[in-house]
Structures are given as structure tokens and as C-alpha cells.
Structure 1
């Protein structure tokens, strides 16, 4: 029995081989070349088969032809596909009936060229236009389908699989001058038919671009469906993987992309789930070297969103972004339908620590910078990029920490209108209080103009000083309200810094300065003048060395408490000029002006103090001479931030001359009356001796 079965199988094989041999010798596939080219021409395709069509027997029975090219009929010289070899696998049973059923189609070493012209038209669109015509044409006559036309000529082009091996795909866009190239392209599209069920897609390639420092390996796999007119694409799902060195990315896409009209916008409804790792390496690929203070910063980025709309108006909602451990949620919308495109962005975030993303601070960097500051080159402001669009951006966070600043619940709202950027709101909790700022940036001309106004309410002065002018010897305390108006302008970032001008007002009900004591300075001033003119107008007045006359050392408080302080501040070139100072210090009234130089880290104030009553305070000094009451007495407070002491505020010798002369003359007139003229020489000698001291 087995012997008969074996003989039967051998007979079948012999019949099959004989039939196949007869078919190979009896059927010349080149006879189909004109039909194939004519059929392609009727579909608007210029098909060139320069080589002979021959049989292939491995890996499957089929046909192969070398030197193949494809171009649109309307542009026959614009070859979109050129391949060294085209292989067509055929089904065996139709082949025995002298019919060709294309089971698979393979391109070896093809070059695929895709271009977009200045009007935004792709060179491949002619194929989709013709596919739409074939889809809408009636059956029979000139409107017969590709498959019907082929079948009438003994051909069946129902392709089960399309593959590409060792191919190259180049893309260029004349609108944005971009270009890229896929090399070592391998692709297998299994059971992907126009209008049919989705089929499997598997692609691998190497991406090269002039904007990349190294190639990027790409892998694409998933299930894809195409509509008959090549105007629809179903992703169920599609996964893209990319990598270069340690940098890697994975993007999962699921949804639909379709185009209802021939030149209409593409409609999108796609869910996007992306993950990017080693962001520093991705930036390095584009030529940007980035080092951060925190080595773990910029390690990963994830994106989750639903993309809906079309290429004219697109919305991403909900939008979820996560950079390392920092999360943002919200929505984004891009509208290209108006004459000026519009961008809308609404985002809410958690705690953001910016310090970790700043450049690393080198050891000894602060000291070397202070000893020999090196100015960074001025960078041009990107004014052109602020024009040509409108925008409405809003961002709120739970907490923002940057450069030793901690802002609670920061919020920002910005609108842009073709170069005019308006800061509608910038606020949050800062220095124990609240701040609010509004402003605008006008970038419509070649020179940028910036104006802003705002204020800090209820801020703690010790926190402000600790951030901008830290010192172990000079301390500010209390709360204050600061309001400001400012402006600047220029074409570089250095211009903005150098031309920054701010006018501010300061108000505080309980400001303290330590270790300065201006009351002590006043008492020393009165005692100094009285001793110089031969009088005594203070009781228990401390001497310059800090002792009280006749009572031993007096311990002055190592601070000054300013009551209801008011002042105006003008800030320019890192120098704050303070004017219109008004405050109370115990029973004293304080006025004056001065400046704080943040560049040199010092201050210099010329103050005027007047005593309202018979004593400077309950524990201060008594003013016996009524001529010293309600009279402005000059005091000077000047020092560097690191050299402040209890004696920083001293009598202002620059303004004492007139005061001493006036007091000496008063006492002489009181003593000598009309004989004062006879004592002029004596007074002159006395004053000379005083000034020598």
C-alpha cells in the first residue's frame, strides 16, 4: 500500500514539474510587458520596465525584472520610484491556467523620491487623485477597475504582500527648506489592500538629516488600513521606535487619518502615547550640548494626548506631559484658518524645581567671577519669531523654585498679537507675601520695547535681602510693600539689562535695620556739636566711644526700628537711588536720600533727624537745649554690606560746618550781644581749632 502511495506521489510531482517546465518554456512573460505598461498608463502611471521579464523559482515561483521606474504620466521625467530589481511572486494554480495572480511584490534597492513644492503639493498626489477617479468611476467601459482591466488581459493584481529591501527614501520640502533621508530601508506590508481589511506593517530604516549629528535608527510596526482612494489611513495601532546611542523613544499611535476632498485638509483623530529617554543625548544629536546641576535631570519625557481636528485646526485634549518627575496637564490648540495663525495653551502643573536644570556651578566660580568678572557676549533677541502669529497662553503651578527663590502657586497669562506680547498676569506668593506684575513687549519694530508695572505686598524684608544682598553683618527685618514701574529696550539681552530703569515706592510699618542705631548717632551728633561750641544740651548723652557722660557705659540696642517708612526708589544699572525717605524712629523724624550699589555691594545715605520733644526716646538721651528740638540734624550712614557695624551711622561732617557756625554765633550773640563783631576774630580762631580736631 505504501509503495503504491509513493508511486502515486512521484507521478504527481512529475506531472507538476512537467507542467511547470512546459509553462516556463511555453509562456513568455515578456508578452505581458506592453499590457502592464498600458494598464499602468491608464491609471496615470508611467511604468518603465527596461530589463527583460524572467522567471524566478526561489523563494517562490514568480517573475522578476531589473531596472524599473515609476512616475506620474503628467510628469514622466519625475521618477518617484526607481529600483534595481522588481520581483513578483505568483500563485501556482492560476499560473497553470496561463493567468498571473500576484501574491507578493518585492522591490530590491529602490530609490523613492518624495518632494513638496512651494505651494505645498506633493509629487505623489497625482497617484491619489487617480485612485479617487477609479473609485468613483462606474463599472465597465473606460471606468473598469485595475483588477478588472488586469483580469481581462489574463492578469490578476490582487497583491497579498509588498516588500522593500535595502531601499532609500528621500524627502524634501520647498516650503520650509527641510529634508531628510531614510537609508537601509526594509519594509514588509502584509495583506494591505486598498479598501480592504487592515494589514500588518513592519519597517526599519536609518534616518539621516543635515540637522542631525548622527543617524537615528527607526522601527515601525503595527496594523494599517488604506481606503481605495489613498485618502484614508487607519492605525490599529502603529508603534514607532527610534534610537541613537543611549537616546531612545517610543511613540504609539491609534486612530484615523483621512482626507475628504482632493485638496482639503487631512482630518485626524489619533491617540498619542510617547516616551523619550535620555533627553540630553537627543539634544546632542541636534548640536546642543546641555549639562545640568542635577545629573538626573532631563532623563525622560512622556506625552499622552488625544489629537483631534485637521491640519488647519488641531486640538490636543486632554494633554499630559511629564518631564522627569514634573507633571503638566491641560490642552493645546493650533488654528491656522485665520490670516494670522493662533496658538492656545492651558496648562496646570505641580512642583517645579528649576535649579536642577540650570548649568552646573563650577567650584570657585563665584569667587573668580567676583575677582575678574567676564561679560558674556550679547545675544540678539529673537524678535522675528514673535511676529506672524497670535497666542493665548496660561500656566499655573503649585510651587516654583528657582535661583533660591520659592514662589507659591505661581501663575502667568500671556497673549501675543503679531509681535505685541502682553503679560496680562504674573503673580504668586513670594518672600512671605504676594506679587503681581503686568506688562508688554513690543517686538513689532527692529527695536524691542518693554514696559511693566507691579508690586510686592506684605513681603518679609529679611528674605528679600537674603536673596539679593546677603550679609552676615547687615540685616533687614519687618514687612514691606513695594510697588514699581519699569521699562527697558534694545536688540540684545545685554541691552535689556543695561537699559533697565525702574521707579519704585517702598512702604513699611515696622522695618528694622541691624546693627545700625540712628538714635545713638543723633545723640552723639548733638553732644559733638555742643562740646565743639562750649555747651551741654544732652543728659546721659553717650560719647562717641559709646559711654554716657557721668553714668558709665550705655548699651544701645543693636538695631533701628523705622515706623511708617515711605521712600521712592529709582533703579538703573544695578544702582538703586533712594529719595523722599520719611520715617519715625521713636521720638525722631527721619528724612533723607541715598543709594544702594549692588555692583559694589555698598550703600551711602545722607539722613536728617529731628527730635520731636525733649528726649529721643524713653531710654535714649534728653535734649536740654530747645534749639536742637524740631531741627534737622545731619547724619550719614555709609558702608559696604560686609563692614556694617553699630557705628555705621555717624555725624555727617560734610554738612556740619554751617550747623556748628550757626550754633557758635548764636551763643556768642547771646553772651556778647552787639559786641559780637568785636569777637569775630576770636570766633574764627575757635572754629579753626574745632575743625582741626
Structure 2
């Protein structure tokens, strides 16, 4: 028995020596470089690729099947002269015996200088799509096409793997890729992308265990020009049987620059746990952390229905940051706003829902400076820019976010302000006796562009907003409600309503940007809102106070304040109740007229004080920025005021003729020269008002020509009184009326 065991051991040892000797002889006596042509032909016949071997082939046989390729390239059979990939060196070795068990056990795999060139041509066909495809078979001369299906079926049968075959088991000690490059060009769109200086290294690669890896690369695109440097680290894990792939403790960071960033740079990073479960048709990004310059975000993302219509859900939280600084750091220049401290405190929390065509932020909480919005923001169709807004707000000052006026607008505003101040100074100096103020000439409105017309034409909008307090044009609107929609260039303001200083307002309108020149239509109803809040100017005291009720229906065209005012047309009616003409002593004006009739001179100095009124009303017809008011009426205790004139909104000027009728209030006047007696009752004292609208009644003066006619009327009234006393019942009524009529002309 001992002898048999010894003999068996010697046989095994002999066989091993023979195998080793054979392997040594094979690797030293057999040179694969002598068979490059056969290897190329084998690559054409079996792999259907064009393999070029410019360098030497190095190899070993046992116990590792080692292989090194130098200066090799691969191309498709239909374009063999245009390599898709080439490399300087590929080195790998495989254990021989595990191959018999369909297990690939490899030592270190090294790839040096890999270049991958991907091109999509004018027809949209990619050069990589032909890899592994044989050239179209040429039919032999004289043969028919009836055998082609059989050949195809045979080929398909050969390519179909046997059901009993087990999947390969992959086992690699390490993988190293140095100085690799990937280039992609789309001829049809002109776009190009590249990844250069790719460095990839991993530890042992085994199915079902964590694989530490590191990746660095430089990325770039052609249209627009973008450049990025990235570094990626983490632990990859894959289970091919379960079709489950993970990247744990992923840490990605880098730097981005290029044309969209105006040559500025953005430092970014991303962290988290990534999972793709193809069997369950889902993917996840848990523990998501993002940063981009000053921006910091946390969240998670989940994708389902990967193979059909992917749907995204998750949550995101963006910590408070300065949006102005962030945008400036990435090359975005904000236009000057009225308040340059806005957008310095932005914070967001919300739930994400999306598809490949849409994205929505549900349960949104957005903090914008000192305002908070809650609700929903969504783009329902990226291609149509279908924007959906449903938000509630506590308080929002919209004036702070409006664009600042241009230098031209500021200069024009300063010129007009100087003109008004000059006119106002002369009006206050002597409102009773000074000359009538000149009509203003300076344009009151800006030529600055108001609307982004091109964007509005493409906008698909549905907006529903509510505000606790909305400040708009310095008006604090309580419980404001705004609903608007837009599609195809027609934007409809369905409602803008709210409470205002214990009154209410309600506005509807349309904006049509389909024509070359935008067209605006607006209806507004205001109910018992203090009028002074609408007409105050640069902090000056408004010329009139009172509760305004207004109905208006207006149209205009243009894309600037000036253009809209110059084309303003429509109609309006108004009533102001319980009001005051501020710093306008209408009593003084009337006193001046009566003193003229009495042929006396006022002894007291004019006193500036207000004139209260019970009601001021009228209607307006607007034509190209000029509002004609034919029926101005005012009720003042003891007086009735009638007037007609124009308000030129283009320069904010007025030109009115006003008649003041004494109704019989004979209370003692401040000056003896303007004592009212019965013969002045019913007479209409004429006033002329002209000048900047801001002056109000301070721009009114006695119409001296009209007072001369009024004196004749007063004299006729006095003669008629005497006739009445003298004639009594001595003459017939017809003759009495005829005699009185002589003195009324």
C-alpha cells in the first residue's frame, strides 16, 4: 500500500511537471505576435469588430492566463478606418482552472490611455450602435432570396444562450484606469461633450460585497461652453442575480465654470446613498446633501417605474441663504430693484413630485425676506412652460421687488418735480390774486420697458394667490385675492380684489401680447376708499381727501408707462364723499369775487385753510391720455360748485372752468368786503383752475372776465327788485316779466 501511494504521488508530481513544463514551453516557444492576422480575423468573425494591434502582445499561461495589449484600437466593420476606441495598454490576467466553472477570477486590471470616440451622425445614428454587428450578407450569384430567412433564423439560434448556462461569476482583485478620455459629438445638433483625464481605481471587485472606488475627471461641453472638475468617492455594491446596484457613502465634489456662469466658478458637492433596484423597477437617493456656493440643501429622492414612465417623489429643504450673492457668484446679474436689500433671506421646504415632463413642489413653505408663502408651485409641461401657482401669503410688499427706474426716467421725474415745485410756490404765495398757474409741460411717465413680451407669449399660466396684506403701489391691500391665467399670449386677470383702508376694490382685465404692440384692457371698481392714497405724490400733501367710489372701463396699448398713458381710452364715473380740499380756501376765492362785485378791497390777509365738502362727483371720458370731465359737481355747505374741464394724464395737469353758486347761506364772512346779501343768492361765481394736478384747488383763480358779466347780472337783479317794489300789482304779470327781462340781458 505504501508503495502504491508512493507511485501515485510520483505520477501526480510527474503530471504537474509536464503541465508546468508544457506551459513554460508554450509561453516561451509560442509567440502570439506571430498570429496577429489570425487574431484580427477571429475578431471580425466572432466579435464582428475591426481590431488593430500596433503594439506587442504579452502573455502568460499558468496558473494565470495573462494578457497585455499595447497600442490597440477597435472599429466597426462598416467603418474600419474610424476607430471608436483605442488604448495604449490593457493588462489583465485570469486564473485558468476557475474558467472551467464559468468563474472569472482576475488579478489587477489596468487600462492606460483609453480614448473612446462616440459620434451621432446627421440621421441620428450612433457609431457605437454597429459594434458587434456583422456586415450585411451578400447573396451568391444566381441565388434567390428565399434562403435568407433560414440564415437569419440560424444566426438568431446561435446567438441565443442555452437556458442551462449559469451566469458568469466576476472576481477581480482591483481595477485601475489611467488617463482615459471619452468624447461625444452630435453632428445634427452641434453639441459636444467630453470627459478627460479620467482616473478610476477600485479595490477588490466581487459580486455582493462593497467595492471602494475613487474617480476623478475633467468634463466639458461645447454648446454652451462648460467646464467641470469632479472627484467621486464611495463604495459600490452590485448583485447581478438580483439586478440590484448601490453606491453607498457617495461623496461627489468639484468645480464648474463656463459661459452660462459668465466665466465665474461654482463649487458644488453631493452626498448620500444611491440605489437602483431594476428588479423592483425603483431607484433611490437617501440622505441627500447638496451644496452649490452659498446654497445648502437636504432631502431624498425616489424614482419608480424606471422601465416605463419614471415618476419622481421625495422631499427637499434649502437652508436660508442670500439669493443675491448666490446668483452673482454664478454669473447671473439681477436688474436693479427699488429695494436692493430684497432676496437676501430665502428659505424653502417642500415635497417633490415629478415626471420626465413635469415637476411640482407640493406642501411648499417658502420664506422670501420677511414674507412666507405656502402652497404649490408646478411646471406641468416643460415644453409648453405650463406654470401652475397656488400660494397663500401672510404679507408681501410687491413694491420692493419692482424694477428701479432708469436714469432717463429719473431725470424726467426730477425735471417734472422741479416744474411742480416752482408752480406750487407761486400758487401758495398768493392764491387769490396771483396769476393763473401755467399748464405743466413735463411728461410724468417713464419710457422704460415694462413687460418681457417674448416670455409672456410662450407662457402657459394658471395662478391663484391670496395675501394677508399685499402692498402694491404703496397701497396695503387687506385679504387680497389674485387669480390669473394665460395661454397663447393672452393673459387674463380674472380677479384682483381686497380691502383697502376700510373700503374695497375689485379689478378685472386682459393683457394681449399676441400683436406686435401689447394691448391692455382693465375694469376697476373702488368703493369708499380714501382718495388721498391714490393721488399722493412724492410724500407731498394730497390736494383732496375723502371717500372715493369709482367705476372705470379702460383700454391702452404699449409696453411702457408713457405708451400706456398716451393711448389710454375709456370711461369712468366717480363720487367723493365727506371730503376736504386741502390747503385750498375756496371761501377766500368766493370772497374775492364778492368783494369785486361790491367794489371793495379785502382788508384781511388770505388765510390758508381747507375747504370741506359733502360730495364731489362727475364722469370722465378718456381719449389718448386726456380725461374730459363735463359734469363736475360739488356740494359745500351754503354753496354748489359746477365745473367742466380736462385732466391731461400725460403731464398730470388740469384745465377747469368752475362756477360757485351761493345758495343763501348768509353767515358772517371773515371780511366785511365780502358780505353776502340776497341779491348774490343763485349767482354763479366763475373760477378758472389750471396747473399741475397735485395743486388741486390751489391752482384756481377768480375769472375776472366772468366776474364782470356777473356784475351786470347782479345789477339786473337789483333793478328787478326795485321794479317789483314800485310796480307791485299795478301792471299785468306779462308786462312785468317783459320789463324784468330787459335787465337780464
What TM-score do the two structures reach when normalised by structure 2? 0.64
In 1, Cα distance between equivalents of 2:447 and 2:81 = 51
Deviations 1:403-434 (A, max 9, x none): 54433333211111322211001123334532
| Structure-2 change in CA distance of 1:632 and 1:259 (3 Å) | same
1:206–1:218: 8 Å Cα contact kept in structure 2? yes
Q: Secondary structure at the match of 2:592?
A: helix
Q: Equivalent residue for 2:554?
A: 486
Match of 2:703 among 648, 652, 663: 652
Match of 1:196 among 232, 238, 244: 244
Q: 1:601 offset after TM fit, Å?
A: 6.2
2:409–2:447: 8 Å Cα contact kept in structure 1? no
In 2, Cα distance between equivalents of 1:521 and 1:327 = 53
Match of 1:611 among 662, 667, 684: 662
| Structure-2 change in CA distance of 1:615 and 1:62 (3 Å) | farther
Q: Is 1:630 aligned to residue 630 of structure 2?
A: no
Deviations 1:83-140 (A, max 9, x none): 7567677787988999743688777776778899999x8969969xx9xxxxxxxxx9
| Structure-2 change in CA distance of 1:175 and 1:166 (3 Å) | closer
Q: Is 1:256 aligned to residue 303 of structure 2?
A: yes
2:548–2:575: 8 Å Cα contact kept in structure 1? yes
Deviation larger for 506-515 or 496-505? 496-505
| Structure-2 change in CA distance of 1:254 and 1:340 (3 Å) | closer
Match of 1:453 among 503, 512, 523: 523
In 2, Cα distance between equivalents of 1:23 and 1:635 = 127
In 1, Cα distance between equivalents of 2:585 and 2:188 = 73
In 2, Cα distance between equivalents of 1:387 and 1:118 = 32
Q: Is 1:568 aligned to residue 572 of structure 2?
A: no
Q: 1:183 offset after TM fit, Å?
A: 3.8
Q: Equivalent residue for 2:575?
A: 507
1:326–1:351: 8 Å Cα contact kept in structure 2? yes
Q: Equivalent residue for 1:477?
A: 545
Q: Equivalent residue for 1:525?
A: 593
In 2, Cα distance between equivalents of 1:520 and 1:164 = 97
| Structure-2 change in CA distance of 1:321 and 1:648 (3 Å) | closer
Q: Equivalent residue for 1:536?
A: none
2:364–2:376: 8 Å Cα contact kept in structure 1? yes
Q: Is 1:328 aligned to residue 328 of structure 2?
A: no
Q: Equivalent residue for 1:397?
A: 467
1:592–1:605: 8 Å Cα contact kept in structure 2? yes
Q: Equivalent residue for 1:211?
A: 260
Deviation larger for 219-228 or 364-373? 364-373
Q: 1:453 offset after TM fit, Å?
A: 0.4
Q: Is 1:223 aligned to residue 273 of structure 2?
A: yes
2:475–2:533: 8 Å Cα contact kept in structure 1? no
| Structure-2 change in CA distance of 1:511 and 1:357 (3 Å) | same
Deviation larger for 377-386 or 475-484? 377-386
Q: Secondary structure at the match of 1:510?
A: strand
Q: Is 1:545 aligned to residue 602 of structure 2?
A: yes
Q: Secondary structure at the match of 2:244?
A: coil
| Structure-2 change in CA distance of 1:650 and 1:509 (3 Å) | same
In 1, Cα distance between equivalents of 2:660 and 2:166 = 107
Q: 1:450 offset after TM fit, Å?
A: 1.0
Q: 1:664 offset after TM fit, Å?
A: 4.8
Deviations 1:542-572 (A, max 9, x none): x65364xxxxx9x978221221221224567
Q: Secondary structure at the match of 2:597?
A: helix
2:556–2:564: 8 Å Cα contact kept in structure 1? yes
In 2, Cα distance between equivalents of 1:118 and 1:318 = 45
In 2, Cα distance between equivalents of 1:235 and 1:425 = 42
Q: Equivalent residue for 1:412?
A: 482
Q: Secondary structure at the match of 2:260?
A: coil
Deviations 1:215-241 (A, max 9, x none): 434434433233559985432344443
1:94–1:100: 8 Å Cα contact kept in structure 2? no
| Structure-2 change in CA distance of 1:580 and 1:181 (3 Å) | same
Q: Alpha carbon RMSD of aligned pairs, Å?
A: 5.6
Q: Is 1:288 aligned to residue 333 of structure 2?
A: yes
Q: Is 1:234 aligned to residue 302 of structure 2?
A: no
Q: Secondary structure at the match of 1:496?
A: helix
| Structure-2 change in CA distance of 1:252 and 1:396 (3 Å) | same
Q: Secondary structure at the match of 1:260?
A: coil
1:163–1:186: 8 Å Cα contact kept in structure 2? no
Match of 1:298 among 323, 337, 343: 343
Deviations 1:123-173 (A, max 9, x none): 69969xx9xxxxxxxxx963449997995xxx9478987978676676879
Q: Secondary structure at the match of 1:298?
A: coil
Q: Which has the larger radius of gyration?
A: 2
| Structure-2 change in CA distance of 1:358 and 1:331 (3 Å) | closer
In 2, Cα distance between equivalents of 1:359 and 1:670 = 68
In 2, Cα distance between equivalents of 1:231 and 1:40 = 34
* Counterpart mapping for 1:347-386 below 5 A: 347-354=391-398, 356-357=400-401, 369-371=413-415, 379=449, 381-386=451-456
What TM-score do the two structures reach when normalised by structure 1? 0.68
In 1, Cα distance between equivalents of 2:559 and 2:408 = 33
Match of 1:319 among 364, 372, 375: 364
2:314–2:353: 8 Å Cα contact kept in structure 1? yes
Q: Equivalent residue for 1:142?
A: 159
| Structure-2 change in CA distance of 1:515 and 1:302 (3 Å) | closer
Deviation larger for 249-258 or 108-117? 108-117
Q: Equivalent residue for 1:550?
A: none
Deviations 1:182-217 (A, max 9, x none): 544444564253622422344444434432212434
In 2, Cα distance between equivalents of 1:296 and 1:455 = 34
Q: Equivalent residue for 1:465?
A: 535
1:471–1:641: 8 Å Cα contact kept in structure 2? no
| Structure-2 change in CA distance of 1:94 and 1:418 (3 Å) | farther
Q: Is 1:427 aligned to residue 494 of structure 2?
A: no
| Structure-2 change in CA distance of 1:40 and 1:331 (3 Å) | farther
| Structure-2 change in CA distance of 1:382 and 1:290 (3 Å) | closer
In 2, Cα distance between equivalents of 1:125 and 1:604 = 80
| Structure-2 change in CA distance of 1:596 and 1:459 (3 Å) | same
| Structure-2 change in CA distance of 1:344 and 1:327 (3 Å) | same
| Structure-2 change in CA distance of 1:256 and 1:656 (3 Å) | same
Q: 1:506 offset after TM fit, Å?
A: 1.8
2:457–2:513: 8 Å Cα contact kept in structure 1? yes
| Structure-2 change in CA distance of 1:471 and 1:387 (3 Å) | closer
Deviation larger for 599-608 or 371-380? 371-380
2:297–2:316: 8 Å Cα contact kept in structure 1? no
2:459–2:487: 8 Å Cα contact kept in structure 1? yes
Q: Secondary structure at the match of 2:327?
A: helix
| Structure-2 change in CA distance of 1:601 and 1:438 (3 Å) | closer
Structure 2: segments with no counterpart, 5+ residues: 1-19, 134-156, 192-222, 417-441, 727-742
Q: Secondary structure at the match of 1:516?
A: coil
In 2, Cα distance between equivalents of 1:569 and 1:100 = 92
| Structure-2 change in CA distance of 1:448 and 1:658 (3 Å) | same
The size of the alignment, in residue pairs, is 609
Q: Secondary structure at the match of 1:464?
A: helix
Q: Is 1:583 aligned to residue 600 of structure 2?
A: no
